[in-house]
Chains A and B, each alone.
Chain A
Amino acid sequence: MKGPIKSVLAEELQNSIRMKNEYKNALEKMPKGCLRKRNIKGHDYYYVVKRENGKIVEEYKGKLSKGQIAEIENNVQLRAKYRELLSQANKQIKFLKGCLRGKEPV
């Protein structure tokens, strides 16, 4: 028997592992990159800047509506949030594994 504390920690470890996978999947599905605006001859043109195989790539998007800009910016914010939460889940997994291990195998 694990005892009440270990049992709760083991449940939380499973939760954090599940969460880590969910955040990874969500990040893979989301479009990468952030928006850059260039003003050329009085007109605003947009580019999505992202890193591909270690190189910085600018993808031309042209003129965008306010709705499209807001959508891309929301995605950027959500991606940053997910990355932060993925890191939090990773820290939790490390901590919980350490707590559960003690002198026994996990």
Chain B
Amino acid sequence: MEKNQYELCHEVLKRFSENGILDSMILIGSWCVYFYQDYFSDVPYVNQIVLKTRDMDVLIPNPRKLRSSTDIPSLIKDLGYVVSFDQITGHMKLDHPELILEFLVPNIGRGSDVPANIKELNINAFPIRYTHILEQDVIHVEFDGIPCNIPHPVNFALQKLLICVRRKDREKAKKDKNTAIQILHFVIQKKEERKIKSVFEQLGNKQKSIIVRELEKENESEIINILYST
């Protein structure tokens, strides 16, 4: 990570932490790959297996259970953040040339493609599918002394495999799939194959078949064997 980006990311997370909102958030998306370096410290892990964009995705698993309210746009305005809205969906982003913040919430029930307003934080967040997998097992890492929540690498990878088939952008879908497969290989190197199997077994049949189909397309027989091992 570049120095400026690192410092900005640290400052933003520090402010979230000081205002008591960081523990209600889970950092998801390609930035997790960077944060996994501590978790994979015992294997030769490369934290740049994926080209990460400047967007940092922040999942708010349960907006109704937020313990404190903070006006996020005002909180980071002095850092140079400006608010922008997608012209079609109305989804809000907090823009900065070094680091863009995007907020997401679980898309449950029939689903919705309209951003959800979170008054407590003065933001809106876009609903996305399969977040329950990310919430199932959250690990805690420290980013320069700031405790952050991120999904377990296995949950992260399996969720990526599920959402890649929903992507309209083929390049993004391919990027998601490659990231997921590489992360699963690091998990195997770390000798945590059983974790892959246990998370996979908790999924529904439809979700299992999507994952296996995507792995088959990439000839990932090693991972498929783990999924069906006894």
Contact = CB atoms under 8 A, between A and B. Distances in A.
B82 A15 contact: no
A10 to B, nearest CB: 9
A62 B100 CA distance: 41
Given A12-B54, A15-B100, A22-B84, A4 B175 contact: yes
Given A78-B78, A88-B97, A18 B175 contact: no
Contact of B53 (A2, A12, A74): A12
A85 B80 contact: yes
Interface size class of B (residues with CB under 8 A): 20 to 34
Contacts of B77: 78
Interface stretch (B37-45, B133-141, B164-172, B188-196): B164-172
A82 B80 contact: yes
B171 A2 contact: yes
B175 A85 contact: no
Interface in B20-58: 51, 53-55
Given A12-B53, A85-B80, A88-B97, 10 more contacts: A3-B171, A4-B178, A7-B172, A15-B53, A15-B55, A15-B95, A15-B100, A18-B84, A77-B78, A85-B96
21 contacts: A4-B51, A4-B174, A4-B178, A7-B169, A7-B171, A7-B175, A12-B53, A15-B53, A15-B55, A15-B95, A16-B97, A18-B95, A19-B82, A19-B95, A19-B96, A19-B97, A22-B83, A82-B82, A84-B80, A89-B97, A92-B97
Interface of A: 1-5, 7-8, 11-12, 15-16, 18-19, 22-23, 26, 74, 77-78, 81-82, 84-85, 88-89, 92
